[in-house]
Amino acid sequence: MYKKQIAVGIAVVVMMGYLYHLPVKGLIKPKEAKNDKTTVLTNKKTNTVTVDMVSEPAKAAIGAGLAAKISDLEGQLKTATGNDAEKLQQQLAKQWDDDNQPAPAAFYYQALARKGNKAEDWLNAGNRFNDAYKLTQDTLLQPAFVSNAAEAFTNALKLQPESLEGKTGLGIAYVNGAAGPMQGIALLLEVVKKDPKNWKANLNLGMFAMKSGQYEKAVGRFKTLLAQRTELEPTFYLAESYKQLGIKKEAIDAYQKCKEMMPDPVFAQRIDGYINELKN
């Protein structure tokens, strides 16, 4: 099972990245935005990205102690064959999961999936490639992540055609650039039609609505999620959507909840900037 701590870690990083790449005065309006680079991400460089390329920066991020454990497993894998190699790939995938590093984990799940062709491995690989895409701004890595995610979910759906997890993941990959936003949105809408409370589908539909300036729709998606449970990411995006709609009190309340859920002083300072802007 995909560990909750990974999702929390990803949410925090995404929140911080989102904040630091936006001016305090708010989101860029759709008519002011430049063409979205995610629509042209697939290219011939996709296959040049390897697990080694993403493992090295990931090791730097997790520290020397954890990195040493990873390096030991990698060393064993170089000389292992057959079942021994497969067990080491499973260990490496799990270890990277435990360390909240979806990019290298994705490649190990992909290797397992290509060998055993199991739906679970394809879904694991696809979910982590989508998360890795979400975390990086590297324009070399992004095409590889989104393309590999699409491959993984396509193969998972061949084995389990009605998998909502597979359709959700493929829809996200399509919107991110593997095929096209309309195909991706259609898949996500299909998912929420069958499962109206589906967390990942509603979250991404809400985010994509924000990107296209449809903030009323975004609010509805995020409220659907928060009616189930309170989490940082949809709360933050709800606050942003309210701000863009000029609904100040609700925006301030949602921002305050974000501060309570993530008591980081730098994050809090930035959030206070948004709140003060709304009060003035």
Q: Please report, for residues 180, 182, 239, 244, the alpha-carbon distance to residue 214 in angstroms, rounded to integers and kept in the order given.
A: 18, 15, 14, 10
Please give the pLDDT value at position 262.
84
pLDDT band, residue 43 (cuts 50/70/90): very low
Residue 194: CB atoms within 10 Å: 12
Tell me the average pLDDT of the chain: 86
pLDDT tens readout for residues 44-80: 455 689 999 999 999 999 999 999 999 999 999 999 9
Mean pLDDT of the 166-189 span: 91
Task: Give pTM, 2 decimals.
Answer: 0.84
